[in-house]
Amino acid sequence: MINFLILPLLIPFLTGILLIFFAKNVVIQRWIAAFSAFFNVIIAFLLVQKVRNDGILTLDVSSWQAPFGITLVSDMISALLVLTTTIIALTSVIYSFRSIGIERERYFYYPALNFLIVGVIGAFTTGDIFNLFVFFEVLLMASYVLLVLGGTKIQLRETIKYILVNVISSALFVIAVAYLYSVVGTLNMAHISVRLNELGQSGIITVIAVLFLIVFGLKGGIFPLYFWLPGSYYAPPAPVMALFGALLTKVGVYAIMRTYTLFFIHDTGYTHQLLMILTIITIIVGVIGAIAFSDIKKIIIYNIIVAIGVILFGVSVMTPDSIAGSVFYLIHDMIIKAGLFLLIGIIIAITGTSDLRKISGLIKRYPGLGWTFFLAALVLAGIPPFSGFVGKVLIVKGGFESEHYWGAGIVLTSSLLVLFSIMKIFINGFWGTPQDYKGEDKVPVRKLLIAPVILVTISVLYGAGSEFIFPYISQAAETLANPSIYIDAVLKEW
């Protein structure tokens, strides 16, 4: 019998292989990709319920018991992120039917998308630090294909930069893992935590902690390592932007959350203080970028950077409330960022431009698009009672409790500036005098709206139903705040 936690990993993997054989038959590819993505959402939902009822699930691959073999682990944060990933994958597939273009669909778009999901879900599920590197490489290889697919000049230029950055990052990742292994003699993440508890955080462990922060900071996009992100995420079409913005940076964020709550917890006065300083600067830089640009893609991209800073500020504070807030806000941001990228994709398809100065009056002809975007803007900015508000309140509360007043104040202030940046799109793009745009009558707006409406609706329900959802968030945060829960579940009687 197949262990339940591996199914969300196997389904997109087998689907990706199957789709390669139907590369030229777009209709069959669409049906297979959509059915697989929908089925995976159901499996992921059932996985969350199973973890809720039975506790942390583990699978020792090839029957090699942890810590000697490769272990897959599904605790609540992993299960919630897997569910969120499958929802975003499904909506991106649905949106792609009417937007990505048949030429891309014929050149292995859907297989690459599924392999990207394999890498993301694998990174969220692995209990082995080296296999975290392996799954990073899987998702990166798929992302190279998705980024370059279409062959436009900007895509080719940004792909070269993106590959160079990630090759360097991957080399640093291997070096960091090698250094860590030389000290602790194991690759199992739970066992690494045990060994570090025995050794204490010596100078070499602090150096390794900083090295991992550089590696995951490059992948997650924290200051000053975010330099590659605005250009690379600007280049691909809307559904690929949604996948990248919602998932890829969040894998780096998750990796920092996991390692900085499980491994490097003995010298928080240095490691977490460094993380806090970088997150505060990340928020400031992101806000400045979001306000400064008049390009709707750039505004949303810089809001990704703001969110990364907010989430990791909660991790750096390391209180139960701030960690719970970071988990809640991480899921919120994944969903709403995917929705916003799909919405601006529709705006660009209608107008033929992403320059806000050339867009106006859209709400007169497309009221559904306009009010969906308005609702998404309120959700993103964290206006009560939406989901962004709940997560930020907990993060700020943790900041005040630990007397990090400046950081908590900057997180609060960022909400107003994020609202300003996103409402700039709504006021300038949707109000004003309607314009005629070449080819807008050919854009299937209603069909394209299905996917972002699903995401915005889920995000609204996520905030409105926070009381119902919070026990799941608390369970996830408890595992992060108390590493012994994770260690006991993985190592069992070892």
Cα→Cα distances 273→254, 268, 279, 317, Å: 18, 7, 10, 8
DSSP 439: T
pLDDT tens figures, 143-168: 888 888 877 788 888 888 888 888 88
Judged against a pLDDT cut of 90, whether residue 37 lies above it is answered with: yes
CA dist 434 and 431 (Å) reads 8
Judged against a pLDDT cut of 70, whether residue 38 lies above it is answered with: yes
Query: Which range is least confidently modeled, 181-190, 230-239, 269-278, 438-447?
Result: 438-447
CA dist 421 and 317 (Å) reads 27
Average pLDDT score over the chain: 87
Share of the chain above pLDDT 70, in %: 99
Residue 128, strand partner residues: 188
Most confident of 307-316, 354-363, 433-442: 307-316
Categorize the per-residue pLDDT at 1 as very low, low, confident or very high, splitting at 50, 70 and 90.
very low
Mean pLDDT within 350-362: 84
pLDDT value of position 99: 84
Share of the chain above pLDDT 90, in %: 27
Instruction: Round the CA-based radius of gyration of the chain to a whole number and report it.
Output: 21
Q: When comparing pLDDT for 356 and 84, which is higher?
A: 84
pLDDT tens figures, 312-324: 998 888 888 889 9
pLDDT value of position 100: 84
Q: When comparing pLDDT for 40 and 229, which is higher?
A: 40
pLDDT value of position 2: 58
CA dist 456 and 176 (Å) reads 39
Q: Are 114 and 12 in contact (CB under 8 A)?
A: yes
Query: Which range is least confidently modeled, 30-44, 239-253, 334-348, 384-398?
Result: 384-398
Structural domain spans, the chain:
4-489
Q: Are 210 and 83 in contact (CB under 8 A)?
A: no
**From the centroid of its chain, how far is CA 105?**
24
Judged against a pLDDT cut of 90, whether residue 88 lies above it is answered with: yes
Give me the phi and psi of 27, to 5 degrees please: -60, -45
pLDDT value of position 201: 65
Query: Which range is least confidently modeled, 44-48, 96-100, 210-214?
Result: 96-100
pLDDT tens figures, 248-304: 889 999 999 998 888 887 777 788 888 899 999 999 999 999 898 888 889 999 999
Measure the N-to-C terminal CA separation of the chain; round to a whole number of Å.
24
Q: Which two tokens stand for residue 164?
A: 């160079």
